[in-house]
Amino acid sequence: MKSMRKIVMAAGALALFAAPALAAEDVMAGYYGNTAISTGGLGAAEIHTHYRADHTFDLTGSMMGMSRNYKGTWSIDGTGKLCRIFVGDLPPNTVNPVCSLMAPHKVGDAWTVTSKDGSTRDVTLKAGVQ
């Protein structure tokens, strides 16, 4: 009986320590509940993207006074790339799936992304859904 109790206690302690380690490995954790805002590139559209822990996302692209909304699902492939599959309409010049390198970020971070065509977009991770 005592050995069973020790096993249960050890399993519980292991679960407490393992949970933060698993959360720390989620490259997308900083994006949940926040907005990645990107600007620049060809067409200079401003894009607001929201990723959720349930592996769905949505984005709104605004350019020249017009806005379009898109949605879909995301996953991280075996090479660490973020792969998005759009459901319904696709953004212009986009194919399914669209995969790109992804790095962890936290609110307030700003970085530049270079596309295959050489164009760049500036990205900032802002707090909340915007």
pLDDT at 3: 41
pTM of the predicted model, to two decimals?
0.77
Looking at per-residue confidence, does 124 or 6 come out higher? 124
Flag whether pLDDT at 45 surpasses 70: yes
Looking at per-residue confidence, does 42 or 16 come out higher? 42
Flag whether pLDDT at 12 surpasses 50: no
| Confidence band for 66, pLDDT divided at 50, 70 and 90 | confident
pLDDT at 72: 98
Mean pLDDT across the chain: 82
Q: How many degrees, rounded to 5, is the angle at CA 21 between CA 35 and CA 74?
A: 40
Rounded CA separation 4/18 (Å): 21
Cα dihedral 28, 29, 33, 38, rounded to 10, equals: -40
- Write out the two tokens for 40: 């620049």
Query: What are 87-117's pLDDT values in tens digits?
Result: 999 988 888 999 998 999 999 999 998 887 7
State percent of the chain over pLDDT 70.
79
Flag whether pLDDT at 16 surpasses 60: no
pLDDT at 33: 97
